[in-house]
Amino acid sequence: MVITIREAERLLKQCTGKTYRIGDGLAYPKPFMTRKELLDMGDPITPSLLDRAEAYAGENVCRKNNPMKRNSKYIYNTAEFERWRKKH
């Protein structure tokens, strides 16, 4: 039995009560987002995933807003972050 993407989305909504969009990846609302904004999106983005991105991904994925300040927020380029997330 083969079902279309639209049917799968409808079945997911019927079973879970949440609206899902099946596609190439996550749909991010902004091109650059902070850690808090990404965590508020929920699954599959977890604190440990963002910690790994901060430690191992390059500056094109994640960087500090102001590197001269110790407590500066990390800013994530969502397009590059999604590419990195799919690889790791």
Range of the domain at 41: 25-87
Q: What is the pLDDT of residue 43?
A: 80
With respect to residue 50, please indicate whether it lies within any of the assigned structural domains: yes
With respect to residue 64, please indicate whether it lies within any of the assigned structural domains: yes
With respect to residue 65, please indicate whether it lies within any of the assigned structural domains: yes
Domain count, the chain: 1
With respect to residue 10, please indicate whether it lies within any of the assigned structural domains: no
With respect to residue 20, please indicate whether it lies within any of the assigned structural domains: no
CB 31 within 8 A of CB 78: yes
Provide the strand spans (E) within 1-88: 32-34, 62-64, 74-77
With respect to residue 77, please indicate whether it lies within any of the assigned structural domains: yes
d(CA 60, CA 11): 37
With respect to residue 8, please indicate whether it lies within any of the assigned structural domains: no
d(CA 43, CA 31): 19
Residue 76 predicted with pLDDT over 80: yes
CB 62 within 8 A of CB 54: yes
With respect to residue 12, please indicate whether it lies within any of the assigned structural domains: no
Residue 24 predicted with pLDDT over 70: no
Bridge partners (DSSP) listed for residue 75: 34, 63
* Structure-block tokens of residue 18: 């949440």
List, for residues 40-57, the tens digit of each pLDDT value. Answer: 988 889 999 999 999 999
- pTM value is 0.69
